[in-house]
Amino acid sequence: VQLQASGGGLVQPGGSLRLSCATAGFTLAQYGIGWFRQAPGQAREGIACIDTSDGSTYYADSMKGRFTISGDNRKNTVYLQIDTLKPEDTAVYYCAARYGSAWCLLPAAQWDDDMDYWGKGTQVTVSS
């Protein structure tokens, strides 16, 4: 099983990024995929979750508006579009998988409690 986040980089405030989470070794449609981030000195926080079997998406309340999660089962890839980037978005961004998608209905603070698989993160730095 593999999940690999990519697409991070140095971006100016106000810019946009699309992160990718390439998956392999499992059937993407059977798993909910979540995006998380962890800033230096802070706890990891959930951003969004997707059930690629039907395209249902879920967002942490604090992440609604500038983040958009999407998926492509043909490419076994999940994306996270981040718009109007702010310096406080600077963090390592991770994707993770957990069987089923019922967990996406839980509060985002509980999402990362029992994830089955984690990928290596990708660094996003927002700075002028």
Give residue-wise pLDDT tens across range 55-100: 999 999 999 999 999 999 999 999 999 999 999 999 999 999 999 9
Residue 113 pLDDT class (50, 70, 90 cuts): confident
- Measured between alpha carbons, how far is 128 from 114 in angstroms, rounded to an integer? 37
pLDDT in tens, 55-67: 999 999 999 999 9
Strands (E), 12-90: 17-24, 31-38, 45-51, 56-59, 67-72, 77-82
Confidence check: pLDDT of 115 > 90: yes
